[in-house]
Amino acid sequence: MSNLHADIKELIYQGNWKNNPALVQLLGLCPLLAVTGTVTNALGLAIATLFVLVGSNVTVSLVRNFVPKDIRIPVFVMIIAAFVTIIQLLINAYAYGLYQSLGIFIPLIVTNCAIIGRAEAYASKNTPILSMIDGIMMGLGFGLVLIVLGAMREILGQGTLFDGAHLLLGDWATNLSITLYQVDNAFLLAILPPGAFIGMGLLIAGKNVIDQQIAAKNKTTNTATRAPRARVTSMD
Amino acid sequence: MSALKVLSSPHQHSQKSLSQLMLAVCLATSLGLLAQLYFFGIGVLIQIVLAISTALACEALVLKLRKRPLNTTLKDNSAVLSALLLALCIPPLAPWWVIVIGTFFAIVFVKQLYGGLGANIFNPAMAGYVLLLISFPVQMTSWLPPAELMPIQLSFIDQLSLVFTGSSSAGLSLEQVRSGIDGVTMATPLDTIKTDLSKGLTVSESLAQPIFTSFAGAGWQWVNLGYLIGGLYLIKARLINWHIPVAMLSSLGLCAVVGIMIDPDTSAGPILHLFSGATMLGAFFIATDPVSAATTNKGRLIYGAAIGILVYLIRTYGGYPDAVAFAVLLLNMAVPLIDFYTQPRVYGDTKDS
């Protein structure tokens, strides 16, 4: 049992931080950069991707012993496409406004490499339970980046947060929309694709800085116990 | 190995130190700058002061964060030059935050995040300009008509208050100041031609507008002449090579000649292309940036010529009236490729090996 616990802990760490699909693996960048203009869109896509990821991971894991190695990729794609179709129809039925604003990026979840990547790298080799947890964690990690990037771009670009949240969450959410500051001139760059790239770069840089600081901290605590090692080779 | 470490560009051969070189380039803009001051008012100077102070503050901040020596880098005047070039491209009465955002982006993102002077891929001033142009199209295209066509004369206080509060001391907005009594907004020569062509007028009909007083549009032609003279001084003083400006201007001129021969009704002539907009400033001061331009002589010719062609294409077929910034940035991306294929033969090496 403790083994499972350790596995889950590792999955949480891997999915959300160490091996984050958006910040480290840089997978699924197309929807990530395209729809994060507002938090609402980002949240919608994050939930959709999470659902598809969990569904496909569990299914792939269940059938992993019956699928011949040679045709596994087409099978995985079919499974993913089935889940994407389900989520597309669901969004179309229950959040039509969001369906319109996400547009082509809902069907394009099929091509999101983060999903097929997890199916191939994890779900096809592990048990359904672990695959499900992996799907949730990877989906969360991806979704978190989506939402943070969406918030950055929405605040910079329009000065609002959760604008249009009622499209996703129903009429009660109209009040969620916060206007942080009023601008006459939207900072268009933040909303346009270049702003997404720059914002993404900043997020990745931020993660690396945090990692470095953690590493530096660990190093300073460890150096006392280690003997100094002579450096014999040099790159420069 | 470290003794053979290759420094990154600029490798300009000049007795001058880096800071003197940058300062000389700044000074070479002075004729064009004076023309701009004369035609568009003291607002130009306000923008320059804002830009330079922002640039120095941003540079100091990033250097401190990067734990780099403050004094030597600040004194090399490269930030000052970038800020100056950006400020010269900004409409003189644009709100103060426009130039501040642009300079911040140019220095912090385009220059320092890539590693500081010598390591930046893109020309900081032009990247800052493009950021502003696509983010704030209204502010960035609100050029004043040249002084002789200005409906209302603005005092220094008026201009200062337009930049900082958005309205003159008499309470007029920039839009009202620009359009005057008859409500017709004055635009730059290139803008005028672009708008008129889209309205179905021919170029010769467009040239009858009051903005075209002599050979290439009131005000702008003198500004461009000023930069041309400043640029020629730079070449004479061997601060820049002749390759880029000559290639750029001749390819732009050639394109314009071909264009006017094929379709005289919808093509602005070579004189107009060469002496309006940012052509001269771009050719001598912007495209020649030693860090982001090509570094071999053959490469410089290709680089300059490609910029000229792109400027013509974007001006004629693109959505924006002027194109120097876009052309320079696009070619900045191509520089590693150009440099790779134009590496000069090493002395003693045979041609076919």
β partners of residue A160: A179
Distance CA A17, CA A211 (A): 10
Closest in A188, A198, A236 to B134, CB measured: A188
In 10 A of CB A212, how many CB atoms?
10
**pLDDT of amino acid A54:** 93
**pLDDT of amino acid B255:** 93
Up-side HSE of residue B1: CA atoms within 13 Å toward CB? Answer: 4
Chain B residues 66-105 with CB within 8 Å of chain A: 101
Average the pLDDT over B121-128 and give the result. Answer: 93
Specify which of A7-11, B34-38, B195-199 reaches the highest per-range mean pLDDT.
B34-38
β partners of residue B167: B173
Over 70: is that where the pLDDT of A122 sits? yes
Cβ proximity of A62 and A128 under 8 Å: yes
Over 90: is that where the pLDDT of B171 sits? no
Over 50: is that where the pLDDT of B55 sits? yes
A188 to B135: CB separation less than 8 angstroms, yes or no: yes
- List the single best residue of B62, B134, B135, B167 to mutate versus A (max A Cβ within 10 A): B135
Average pLDDT along chain B: 84
The token pair that represents B313 in the structure block: 């294409």
CA distance from start to end of chain A: 49
Chain A residues 19-38 with CB within 8 Å of chain B: none
Over 90: is that where the pLDDT of B83 sits? yes
**pLDDT of amino acid B353:** 47
Give me the interface pTM, i.e. the ipTM: 0.76
Q: Which phi and psi angles does B135 have, rounded to 5°? A: -85, -40
Over 60: is that where the pLDDT of A207 sits? yes
Q: Is A94 exposed, middle or buried (0-12, 13-18, 19+ CB in 10 A)?
A: exposed
Distance CA B65, CA B59 (A): 10
Q: What is the dihedral of CA B191, B193, B198, B203, to 10 degrees?
A: 180
Cβ proximity of A117 and A84 under 8 Å: no
A187 to B135: CB separation less than 8 angstroms, yes or no: yes
Q: Measured on CA atoms in the order B124, B45, B282, B218, is the torsion positive or negative? A: positive
The token pair that represents B329 in the structure block: 């940035």
Top pLDDT among B73 and B262 is at B262
Instruction: Enumerate residues 6+ apart whose C-beta is below 8 A from A189.
Output: A157, A195, A198, B131, B134, B135
DSSP assignment letter at B72: H
**pLDDT of amino acid A55:** 93
Over 50: is that where the pLDDT of B202 sits? yes
Chain B positions in Cβ-Cβ contact with residue A188 (cut-off 8 Å): 134-137
pLDDT in tens, B136-150: 888 888 887 776 666
User: pLDDT > 90: what percent of chain A?
Assistant: 30
Q: Does A185 touch chain B (CB under 8 A)?
A: yes
Instruction: Enumerate residues 6+ apart whose C-beta is below 8 A from B319.
Output: none
A194 to B134: CB separation less than 8 angstroms, yes or no: yes
Over 60: is that where the pLDDT of A63 sits? yes
Q: Does B165 touch chain A (CB under 8 A)?
A: no
Top pLDDT among B170 and B294 is at B294
Q: How confident is the model at residue B152 (pLDDT cuts 50, 70, 90)?
A: low
Instruction: Enumerate residues 6+ apart whose C-beta is below 8 A from B140.
Output: B90, B91, B94, B98, B132, B133
Long-range contacts at A106-112 (CB < 8 A, ≥ 24 apart): A106/A45, A106/A48, A108/A30, A108/A31, A109/A31, A109/A45, A109/A48, A109/A49, A109/A52, A109/A80, A109/A84, A110/A77, A110/A80, A110/A81, A110/A84, A111/A30, A112/A27, A112/A28, A112/A30, A112/A31, A112/A49, A112/A52
Nearest to B52 by CA among B5, B106, B121, B1: B106
B136 to A185: CB separation less than 8 angstroms, yes or no: yes
Nearest-Cα distance to chain A for B221, in Å, is: 32
Q: How confident is the model at residue B52 (pLDDT cuts 50, 70, 90)?
A: very high
**pLDDT of amino acid B12:** 53
Up-side HSE of residue A171: CA atoms within 13 Å toward CB? Answer: 0
Over 70: is that where the pLDDT of A132 sits? yes
Up-side HSE of residue B351: CA atoms within 13 Å toward CB? Answer: 0
The token pair that represents A94 in the structure block: 């229950």
Instruction: Enumerate residues 6+ apart whose C-beta is below 8 A from B142.
Output: B91, B93, B94, B174, B175, B178
pLDDT in tens, B90-114: 988 888 999 999 999 999 999 998 8
Cβ proximity of A193 and A34 under 8 Å: yes
Residue whose tokens read 């071999």: B296
CA distance from start to end of chain B: 27
Distances (CA, A) of B310 to A60, A148, A149, B319: 51, 38, 34, 13
Chain B positions in Cβ-Cβ contact with residue A194 (cut-off 8 Å): 134
Chain B positions in Cβ-Cβ contact with residue A192 (cut-off 8 Å): 134
Q: Does A198 touch chain B (CB under 8 A)?
A: yes
The token pair that represents A105 in the structure block: 């990026």
User: pLDDT > 70: what percent of chain A?
Assistant: 90
Q: What angle do CA A131, A135, A140 make, to 5 degrees?
A: 150
Q: Which phi and psi angles does A14 have, rounded to 5°? A: -65, -50
Distances (CA, A) of B99 to A53, A199, B38, B213: 45, 21, 21, 30
**pLDDT of amino acid B1:** 42
Q: Is A67 exposed, middle or buried (0-12, 13-18, 19+ CB in 10 A)?
A: middle
E strands present in B229-317:
none
Average the pLDDT over A113-121 and give the result. Answer: 88
Average the pLDDT over A139-168 and give the result. Answer: 85
Compute the count of residue pairs across chains A and B with CB atoms less than 8 Å apart: 20
Top pLDDT among B118 and B311 is at B311
pLDDT in tens, A72-97: 999 999 999 999 999 999 989 988 88
Q: Does A156 touch chain B (CB under 8 A)?
A: no
Distance CA B173, CA B164 (A): 12
Longest dimension (CA), chain B: 74
Distance CA B3, CA B1 (A): 5
